[in-house]
């Protein structure tokens, strides 16, 4: 929450607030014909296909304002939607932004939220084209819808994975989950002792992963450059296990992934050790990674091995083989949507 | 809220609930290539332009579940978005539906909400293509985004009204506001005395107007049939005054409307009398009418006079004339966004 001058939202009213927050918004995309200011935005994609995704974020469920700056929240709220469009192998083009807010928020709070939102949109070349601003009796609610585009031949669904395809994941996993654990711990310390200062030194990466995730535009551009189209793709929001199971279920296939191949940053490993958590569980089920999980034909094995920041973690199998994790000791365990290793600890 | 068997949502979980609610959804529009089940829906409008509008409804602010059946809420939540697309002279084609709900809701509640939603979509030939279902710590939050289409030459903005244009309004005004007052009164009575039965006889119309509004698809079809395109249009959600001021501001014009021309149903008039409210105030500022307010060239005066259910209420003027209401006694009062007559009572 904003710490300096706090201007009551009632001073502007709903229309005034919307105008204040959106007056500097400039449209960047030729597909955006008309943005904020009418009953609906007007877009035109011509021969391209239109992609639509939406997310609803609720205070206390998806974010805790004790440790989430509103600027970061705005950035992340946009980013998680861009991530869904990239997961279709498309480009995000427009968003609508609806906010319900209670009286404890001031205009400066909303400015910070919009600053984060606009920064995310600048990085990804997205136009803010509409939305709704309204009152809430209790917490903050944020609903963002993102519209993107892709050539018909480019769209990648979850249902195209085939036997022997390689399973690839970008970046590393489990860091956002560890960042969340760290912030929850420091919050508890802070609430017990107001003099306590949080100790975040050396933990910047995992904090950034939870507070300011970055959707993988670069990977989609890499696919274009290399002329490669994945057979199936999803973004990792619920956790690798859960999202890989979506691909397998929708493609009607099984999979084998290897525990030793899971990409994990050293800060994630250090924190898991500190919290006495099983590191593989964090990587498999942590969620909120916003990395891309995709499958490509086996014939691309050599090619993909040379791509920086992309790890082959296993392969697709026939459906009767099930969805398996091959542990370091060679044992095979069935992948569950969440928490299976936690149970075995 | 559902009164019979109540099934805990935890029995299905998030993915299970979504699957349960959406399994019977069938796509109707050829423009909808892929609906629920991936990271984003896939649409294609070709040469048509794409329209996007969104609304966020919060429990306690936009609706009161004491007197709003969830089935009606679902119907209305969809309808208010369709109304925005019609107000652009377009056709709604798809919606995404996000819901945040607390533990006090059961699966049957959500089924009723979806029943209403699907009924609205059937009436208006709209596909449900995605959404988000999540938890809320307190009340119910509903966010709907509607996507529509229109030929480039058909889109009607708020900014095209010209001097001497006729100002027209569909249906009648103020009824939803009176319906709301009635329900609030009966709620207060009920809370004071649990034996009291609400008395709604002869008041069905105003109740239907607030609980189950109908977006004016028929008017858009009439425009097509007659080959007529309004110069400006908006749907009346905030109240005639407020919405007419949007048209005038964005078109850079003034207006004169006539109190005696305001279309008002007799049930609205009876209730206003009963509540000692100024009837014109209710019609001008009540809001939630979801009627269409539009302007057409003066040359169409004879034509529009023959259209059933459409009333010419005044005309556009030069901007220096201001935005005026001509009262029954001939006095002119400046239109305000809300409550100006209330102040003078």
pLDDT score of B192 more than 80 = no
Q: Tens of pLDDT along A51-96? A: 999 999 999 999 999 989 999 999 999 999 999 999 999 999 999 9
Q: Give the minimum alpha-carbon distance from B147 to chain A in angstroms, rounded to a whole number.
A: 9
Q: A185-190: list long-range contacts, CB under 8 Å, 24+ apart.
A: A185/A275, A186/A67, A187/A64, A187/A66, A187/A67, A190/A66
Q: How confident is the model at residue A198 (pLDDT cuts 50, 70, 90)?
A: confident
**Could you tell me how far CA B339 lies from the centroid of its own chain?**
20
pLDDT (0 to 100) of residue B193 = 67
Q: Of B84, B131, B136, which has the smallest distance from its Cβ to A61's Cβ? A: B136
- Tell me the mean pLDDT in the region B89-99: 95
Which residue, B97, B96, B84, B124, is CA-closest to B237? Answer: B84
Decide if A252 contacts A157 (C-beta within 8 A): no
The residue count of chain B comes to 345
From residue B205, alpha-carbon distances to B2, B199, B200, B289 in Å are 24, 14, 10, 12
From residue A3, alpha-carbon distances to A11, A118, A187 in Å are 19, 21, 18
Work out the percent of chain A whose per-residue pLDDT is above 90.
75
Q: Which helix (H) or strand (E) holds A105?
A: none
- Tell me the mean pLDDT in the region A25-43: 88
pLDDT (0 to 100) of residue B194 = 65
Look at A130 and B53 and tell me if their CB atoms are within 8 Å: yes
From residue B273, alpha-carbon distances to B44, B200, B280 in Å are 51, 16, 11
Q: What ipTM was reported for this prediction?
A: 0.91
Indicate the Cα dihedral angle A135, A138, A139, A143, nearest 10°: -40
A91-101 β-sheet, strand order: A127-135, A91-101, A141-150, A49-58, B41-43, B32-34
Residues in chain A within 8 Å Cβ distance of B215: none
Decide if B189 contacts B198 (C-beta within 8 A): yes
- Tell me the mean pLDDT in the region A164-181: 97
pLDDT score of A103 more than 90 = no
Q: Any idea which residue has 């793709």 for tokens?
A: A233
Distance CA(B143)–CA(A100), nearest Å, equals: 10
Which residue, B185, B191, B161, B199, is CA-closest to B293? Answer: B161
Number of H helices, E strands in chain B: 11, 13
Residues in chain B within 8 Å Cβ distance of A56: 98-100, 132, 134, 141, 143
Q: Give the minimum alpha-carbon distance from A274 to chain B in angstroms, rounded to a whole number.
A: 30
Q: What DSSP letter does each residue of A140-188 carry, written as one string? A: -EEEEEEEEEE-TTT---SS---TTPEEEEES-SSHHHHHHHHHHHHHH
Distance CA(A65)–CA(A73), nearest Å, equals: 9
Q: Residue A241 phi/psi, 5° resolution? A: -55, -55
The pTM of this model reads 0.92
Helices within B133-227 (DSSP H only)? 175-192, 204-211, 217-226
Q: How confident is the model at residue B343 (pLDDT cuts 50, 70, 90)?
A: very low
pLDDT (0 to 100) of residue A340 = 34
Q: Report A:103-132 residues touching B (Cβ under 8 A).
A: 129-132
Look at B152 and A56 and tell me if their CB atoms are within 8 Å: no
Strand ranges in A5-137 using DSSP code E only, listed in sequence order = 32-34, 41-43, 49-58, 91-101, 127-135
Helix A175-192 to helix A204-211 angle (10° resolution) is 100
Which residue, B247, B254, B236, is CA-closest to B159? Answer: B247
Q: Give the minimum alpha-carbon distance from B215 to chain A in angstroms, rounded to a whole number.
A: 13
Nearest CA in chain A to B92: A40
pLDDT (0 to 100) of residue A345 = 30
Q: Of B39, B53, B58, which has the smallest distance from its Cβ to A234's Cβ? A: B39
Other beta carbons within 10 Å of B244: 28
Residues in chain B within 8 Å Cβ distance of A99: 56
**Token pair listed for A173:** 């996993």
Q: Give the minimum alpha-carbon distance from B229 to chain A in angstroms, rounded to a whole number.
A: 16
Look at A51 and B45 and tell me if their CB atoms are within 8 Å: no
From residue A307, alpha-carbon distances to A86, A304, B48 in Å are 18, 5, 40
Summary mean pLDDT of chain B: 91
Interface test with chain B among A50, A77, A251, by most B beta carbons within 10 Å: A50
A139 close contact with B: CB closer than 8 A:
yes
- Tell me the mean pLDDT in the region B188-204: 77
Q: Positive or negative CA dihedral for B270, B274, B276, B277?
A: negative
Nearest CA in chain A to B51: A42
Q: Tens of pLDDT along A295-336? A: 999 999 999 999 999 999 999 999 999 999 999 999 999 998
Which residues are CB-neighbours of A180 under 8 A, at least 6 positions away?
Answer: A210, A288
Decide if B338 contacts B241 (C-beta within 8 A): yes
Strand ranges in chain A using DSSP code E only, listed in sequence order = 32-34, 41-43, 49-58, 91-101, 127-135, 141-150, 166-170, 232-235, 254-258, 292-296, 310-317, 323-326, 332-334
Look at B132 and A54 and tell me if their CB atoms are within 8 Å: yes
Other beta carbons within 10 Å of B11: 11
Q: Give the minimum alpha-carbon distance from B201 to chain A in angstroms, rounded to a whole number.
A: 33
Distance CA(A226)–CA(A271), nearest Å, equals: 36
Other beta carbons within 10 Å of A302: 7
Q: Residue A341 phi/psi, 5° resolution? A: -70, -35
Q: How confident is the model at residue A194 (pLDDT cuts 50, 70, 90)?
A: low
Decide if A247 contacts A291 (C-beta within 8 A): no
Eight-state DSSP code of residue B307: S
Which residues are CB-neighbours of B309 under 8 A, at least 6 positions away?
Answer: B170, B171
Q: How confident is the model at residue B237 (pLDDT cuts 50, 70, 90)?
A: very high
**Token pair listed for B84:** 């925005």
């Amino acid at each position: 929450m904003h710490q300096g001058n706090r201007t009551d939202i009632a001073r502007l009213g709903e229309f005034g607030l919307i105008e204040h927050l959106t007056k500097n918004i400039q449209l960047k995309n030729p597909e955006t014909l008309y943005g904020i200011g009418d009953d609906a935005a007007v877009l035109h994609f011509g021969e391209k296909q239109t992609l639509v995704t939406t997310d609803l974020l609720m205070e206390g469920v998806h974010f805790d304002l004790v440790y989430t700056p509103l600027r970061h929240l705005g950035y992340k709220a946009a980013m998680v939607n861009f991530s869904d469009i990239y997961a279709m192998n498309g480009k995000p083009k427009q968003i609508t932004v609806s906010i319900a807010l209670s009286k404890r928020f001031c205009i400066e709070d909303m400015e910070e939220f919009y600053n984060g939102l606009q920064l995310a949109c600048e990085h990804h070349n997205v136009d803010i084209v509409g939305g709704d601003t309204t009152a809430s009796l209790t917490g903050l609610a944020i609903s963002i819808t993102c519209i993107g585009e892709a050539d018909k031949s480019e769209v990648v669904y979850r249902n195209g994975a085939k036997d022997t395809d390689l399973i690839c994941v970008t970046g590393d996993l489990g860091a956002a989950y560890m960042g969340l654990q760290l912030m929850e711990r420091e919050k508890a310390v802070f609430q017990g002792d107001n003099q306590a200062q949080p100790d975040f030194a050396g933990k910047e990466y995992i904090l950034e992963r939870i507070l300011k995730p970055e959707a993988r535009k670069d990977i989609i551009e890499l696919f274009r450059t290399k002329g490669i189209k994945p057979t199936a793709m999803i973004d990792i929001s619920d956790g690798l296990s859960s999202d890989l199971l979506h691909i397998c279920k929708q493609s009607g296939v099984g999979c084998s992934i290897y525990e030793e191949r899971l990409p994990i940053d050293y800060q994630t490993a250090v924190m898991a050790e500190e919290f006495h958590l099983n590191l593989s569980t964090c990587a498999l089920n942590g969620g909120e990674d916003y990395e891309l999980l995709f499958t490509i034909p086996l014939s691309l094995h050599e090619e993909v091995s040379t791509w920086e920041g992309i790890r082959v973690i296993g392969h697709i199998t026939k459906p009767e083989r099930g969805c398996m994790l091959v542990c370091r000791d060679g044992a095979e365990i069935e992948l569950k949507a969440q928490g299976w290793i936690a149970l075995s600890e």
